[in-house]
Amino acid sequence: MITVHVDTPGGRYPIHIGPGRLDHLADSLPADTTSVALITNTTVAPLYAARVERALARTGKPVVRVELPDGEVHKDWQTLNQIFDALLQNGIDRQAVLVALGGGVIGDMSGFAAASYMRGVRFLQVPTTLLAQVDSSVGGKTAINHPLGKNMIGAFHQPVAVEIDTDALATLPDRELSAGLAETIKYGMIADADFFDWCEASVDALLRRDQEAIITAVRRSCEIKARVVSQDERESGVRAILNFGHTFGHAIEAGLGYGEWLHGEAVGCGMVQAAELSARVLGLPRADADRVRALVDAIGCPVRAPDFGLRRWLDLMRVDKKTRGGELRFVLLPAMGRAEIHTVPEGVLADVLEGTVARESS
């Protein structure tokens, strides 16, 4: 087992990474836990919930299962309220721990439920998608979507631990694996050029889920994310670099309707667009922008964005937490492995959008 530490004002906690971690979740429950609410969904429950319940039952604490509908479209008030209904109906008290078993949607919603139930209870992240293992389970961002914007309602709330069972990825659909690889290669682009090189060289191993390659990718991603959020828990500065590709990506998700493209697919395409913008605004070498496009393509994510038209693109992108006084700000790469936040001239942005959207061939 590998352990990576996160150290923020909101909490210091371990990330445990390795095969078989689902059987050891009891190790991460605080000693004074009164009961456990296992929050999962209708896809993950038949695969892993009984096993996790057995592991948690070893603590002797009661375990209540809360099974939610699956999908990004359900990351909303109605589903969040289902969690609160179940917690209240089952008498879950303030010393309880919520266990989030699933992908980023379950992790984000359970975390927000934990942040607000009885003004805050503890929660344990047990991510079962690659995207959640390399990104969403770490760092304490929790949220639901609003029809007008992605992750717009939420809170910072750190988990007591993150338990990553890399074996759980065996059942993940290929498309979800590709979406998770998009967030994985992001870390190379923004913080570690050697890791980007390694991802390029390891793409086949990653796509065939070679255990050693997957563990290396998850560990390096968690190390980089842990370092960034430990420096800036609340995104007042450096943490925003983790949003590379997300201004474009969130616009794609909202513009097409949540769930049409997977979050990771939208981010993958958004990184291609952000790399193009970096080449135009900061002089990122063309060869590096091309490498970004080639790697996003190689992991199986789209590299051409939907054609919403300039006006709608700008409206969609303005609903972004980095926007200040109506002015769009982008995470850009001055060089491979480094990231900075910049405003950009609208004309350049328009050119980049024009050059990166998919056009019907006539």
Contact 105, 116 (CB under 8 A): no
- CB 142 to ligand GLY: min, Å: 10
- One of 75, 122, 150, 239 is an active-site residue; which one? 239
Note if 223 is an active site residue.
no
The partner in contact with residue 176, picked from ligand NAD, ligand GLY, none with C-beta cut-offs of 5 to 8 angstroms by kind, is: ligand NAD
Residue 61 CA: distances (Å) to CA of 48, 84, 213? 19, 20, 36
Question: Which residues form the interface with ligand GLY (CB under 6 A)?
Answer: 135, 139, 141, 239, 242-243
- One of 41, 145, 151, 243 is an active-site residue; which one? 243
- CB 222 to ligand NAD: min, Å: 12
- CB 136 to ligand GLY: min, Å: 7
Virtual torsion, Cα 343, 349, 350, 351, nearest 10 deg: 150
Note if 233 is an active site residue.
no
- One of 263, 280, 291, 293 is an active-site residue; which one? 263
Question: In this complex, which beta carbon is closest to ligand GLY, that of residue 55 or of residue 274?
Answer: 274
Note if 243 is an active site residue.
yes
Note if 157 is an active site residue.
no
Note if 176 is an active site residue.
no
Residue type, 288: D
Note if 250 is an active site residue.
yes
The candidate with the shortest Cα–Cα distance to 233, out of 7, 5, 2, 56, is: 7
Strand 11-18's sheet: what is its strand order?
Answer: 2-8, 11-18, 161-165, 122-127, 97-102, 36-41, 63-68
- One of 119, 212, 359, 360 is an active-site residue; which one? 119
Note if 74 is an active site residue.
no
The partner in contact with residue 239, picked from ligand GLY, ligand NAD, none with C-beta cut-offs of 5 to 8 angstroms by kind, is: ligand GLY
- CB 55 to ligand NAD: min, Å: 16
Residue type, 341: I
* Gap between the Cα atoms of 91 and 94, Å rounded: 10
Question: In this complex, which beta carbon is closest to ligand NAD, that of residue 87 or of residue 100?
Answer: 100
Question: In this complex, which beta carbon is closest to ligand NAD, that of residue 199 or of residue 289?
Answer: 199
Question: In this complex, which beta carbon is closest to ligand GLY, that of residue 49 or of residue 228?
Answer: 228
- One of 225, 280, 291, 293 is an active-site residue; which one? 225
The candidate with the shortest Cα–Cα distance to 83, out of 134, 121, 54, 43, is: 121
The candidate with the shortest Cα–Cα distance to 68, out of 109, 36, 116, 122, is: 109
Note if 246 is an active site residue.
yes
- One of 53, 163, 183, 265 is an active-site residue; which one? 183
Tokens of 352: 């980049």
- CB 12 to ligand GLY: min, Å: 17
Note if 119 is an active site residue.
yes
Contact 139, 225 (CB under 8 A): yes
* Gap between the Cα atoms of 121 and 36, Å rounded: 11
DSSP assigned state of 189: H
Phi, psi of 101 (to 5 degrees): -110, 105
- CB 241 to ligand GLY: min, Å: 9
- One of 141, 157, 186, 280 is an active-site residue; which one? 141
Question: In this complex, which beta carbon is closest to ligand NAD, that of residue 44 or of residue 55?
Answer: 44
* Gap between the Cα atoms of 76 and 203, Å rounded: 34
Which residue matches tokens 């450096």? 238
Question: In this complex, which beta carbon is closest to ligand NAD, that of residue 184 or of residue 216?
Answer: 184
Does residue 66 sit in helix, strand or coil? strand
Q: How many CB atoms lie within 10 A of CB 360?
A: 5
**Cα 219–chain centre separation:** 15
Note if 41 is an active site residue.
no
Question: Which residues form the interface with ligand NAD (CB under 6 A)?
Answer: 41, 43-44, 47, 70, 72, 75, 102-106, 108, 128-129, 131-132, 135-136, 139, 141, 151, 168, 171-172, 176, 179, 262-264
Question: In this complex, which beta carbon is closest to ligand NAD, that of residue 92 or of residue 138?
Answer: 138
The partner in contact with residue 75, picked from ligand GLY, ligand NAD, none with C-beta cut-offs of 5 to 8 angstroms by kind, is: ligand NAD
- CB 130 to ligand NAD: min, Å: 8
Bridge-based pairing of strands 36-41 and 97-102 is: parallel
Catalytic positions are: 119, 141, 183, 225, 235, 239, 243, 246, 250, 263
